[in-house]
Structure 1
Amino acid sequence: MILLVGAGPMAIQYAKVLQSMGKPFVVVGRSQQSADSFNASIGIQPFVGGIEAFLSSAHSISHAIVAVSVDQLERTTACLVENGVKNLLVEKPGGMTLEAIERLQILAQMNFASIYIAYNRRFLATVIKARELIEEDGGVTSFSFELTEWADTVQKIFKADGVKENWFFSNTSHITDLAFYLGGTPREIATFTGGSLPWHSRAARFAGAGVTEQGALFSYSGDWEAPGRWAVEVLTRKRRFIFKPLEKLQVQLLNSVAIEAVDVDEELDAKYKPGLYLQVAHFLRCDEANLCSLTEHLKKSRLYARIAAYD
């Protein structure tokens, strides 16, 4: 049985994918209101009352997708693992803090569970195409990325206690995961931070540089008190790949100033939440290629903690 935990907007996106695949699944939500909204969108009435109540009766769960709010991710995932679920796809960041992610890793190892963190941008058609071309060019030589958040917008969003204070994990890790997925995992990194925000006290400005395990140089910056947007640029000896916005791919060729869009088959990304269909497909067939394992996520989250001044 496939279990979908959560009945909010993100769970609805997962349900659309599962329905299109013809995969039967069961949905568990907490409130009647979210369950009714889910039913109105998908045509399936979720079990109401939370994961603990659902698991109190016998169930055989082969795969679980956890799409609850950030503050509930660790508790929900831990509950599933403790009740014998072995294959889990968990919305990022898995846990609200580095300590939470570390606790989940220990629990997963103790229970021989495979947990993957749902960074769906890895499965964008543009990202898949870029990785093919990067390999064709002989690999990455350098890359850079911007991780600016719109502070005024975030400040107005209602979130549970602690979510905004750990916003780098809760949200910004989307861009850092994509950058390091494309460019390579850092071997060495120097980090600098400055400033403060009412809802993110430890830093508001970020800069740094380093070298990956494959020898590519990289740099990053972000100023949450200034205009900006997420962006990634990856360089090879033949091309510059530009993701700005992240969902689009442009290329600049060697010895040229022209920047041209790359044509890709975006049918799945147009029909479903971008990247989600292929991510779910990989997860359900237990294909680890390109998925972000909890082990990988923990390793990178320790870097994120340094970048965000959380350590």
Structure 2
Amino acid sequence: MILLIGAGPMAVHYANVLKGLKKEFRVVGRSLQSAETFEKATGVTPSVGGLESFLKGCDEVIEHAIVAVSVEQLEEATRQLLMHGVTRILVEKPGGLTLASIHSLQALATERNANVFIAYNRRFLSSVLLAKDMIADDGGVTSFIFELTEWSDSIAKIHKAEGVKENWFFANTSHVTDLAFYLGGLPEELSCYVAGKLDWHSRASRFFGAGKTNCGALFSYSGDWDAPGRWAVEVMTSKRRYIFKPMEKLQVQNRNSVAVDYCEVDDSLDQQYKPGLFLQVKHFLDEDFSAMCSLQEHLASSTMYARIANYDC
């Protein structure tokens, strides 16, 4: 059985992908209201009452589980699945709201001999897949830069459960860092500088730093959550500069040229479904995990994210 946990907007995106893949699946949600909204959007009727209740009455083997609940519930839902014996789990980022919770979840996954993956769908954008091939043809990444600015005024107005905004770098901004380090390698050397604070994010509001990855690439980053900006990643090789700004689109600047041009790419799947989600789910169900972010990798990366975000203070 393929089990989808959650009946909110993100779960709707997953259900559409599973239907597109022509997969049979079951959905479990908590409230009748969210179940009715989900059914109207997808035509699929979820079980209600929550995951714990569902698992107590479940006799079928759950071969694959996708966890698409609210951020603050991700860790607990994944724990319940692991304790039930599920060994292939795709969970929305960040898996856990703190470095300690991610570490604890990884320890349990190892104990239960389970494969748990964090759903960084931008790895599977058509623009990223094309860039990966082109970068390899160029001989690899030599350097990269990325911007991780968040729109603090907008975030201040949205309602989130306690702790989510204080750990916003894990909960949301890690989309940028994951893509940057997926393309350029994991940091071996890292210098971080932070300053400022916000009402909803007390440990820092400005983030700057630089380092060197295990691929030999040099990098720098910046993010000022109290100033204008946007997410962006730029990757350099000896032949070209690859620009993801916005991150769903690929622009290329060739050596000895000032021209920056959009690359033509077949993004039909990214147009039909939430960008990157179709191929991510297909890889997960086909058990082709080569491009996926394992929980073990996520823990190593999150150790770096904690330094960047000033969460290890």
Which residue in 2 is equivalent to 1:71? Answer: 72
TM-score (norm 2): 0.99
CA offsets 1:92-138 (integer angstroms, 9 cap, x no match): 00001111100100000000010000000000000000000000000
CA offsets 1:218-260 (integer angstroms, 9 cap, x no match): 0000000000000000000000000000001000000000000
Q: Are 2:21 and 1:39 equivalent residues in the alignment?
A: no
1:112-151 map, 5 Å: 112-151=113-152
- The SS at the match of 1:241 is strand
Cα distance in structure 2, aligned partners of 1:36 and 1:103:
34
Q: Are 2:309 and 1:308 equivalent residues in the alignment?
A: yes
Cα distance in structure 1, aligned partners of 2:119 and 2:34:
22
Cα distance in structure 1, aligned partners of 2:194 and 2:180:
19
Cα distance in structure 2, aligned partners of 1:43 and 1:259:
44
Aligned-residue sequence identity (percent) comes to 63
Which residue in 1 is equivalent to 2:10? Answer: 10
Which residue in 1 is equivalent to 2:111? Answer: 110
- The SS at the match of 1:139 is coil
Cα distance in structure 2, aligned partners of 1:59 and 1:75:
21
Q: Are 2:161 and 1:160 equivalent residues in the alignment?
A: yes
- The SS at the match of 2:65 is strand
Q: Aligned residues, how many?
A: 311
Which residue in 1 is equivalent to 2:85? Answer: 84
Which residue in 2 is equivalent to 1:48? Answer: 48
Cα distance in structure 1, aligned partners of 2:178 and 2:32:
34
AA matched with 2:8: G
Which residue in 2 is equivalent to 1:188? Answer: 189
Cα distance in structure 2, aligned partners of 1:214 and 1:248:
24
Which residue in 2 is equivalent to 1:179? Answer: 180
- The SS at the match of 1:251 is strand
Segments of 5+ residues of structure 1 without an aligned counterpart are none
Cα distance in structure 1, aligned partners of 2:111 and 2:60:
21
- The SS at the match of 2:14 is helix
1:182 to partner: Cα distance: 1.0
1:44 to partner: Cα distance: 1.1
- The SS at the match of 1:48 is coil
Which residue in 2 is equivalent to 1:212? Answer: 213
Which residue in 1 is equivalent to 2:222? Answer: 221
Cα distance in structure 1, aligned partners of 2:307 and 2:5:
31
1:59 to partner: Cα distance: 2.7
AA matched with 2:177: T
AA matched with 1:152: D
Cα distance in structure 2, aligned partners of 1:72 and 1:214:
35
Segments of 5+ residues of structure 2 without an aligned counterpart are none
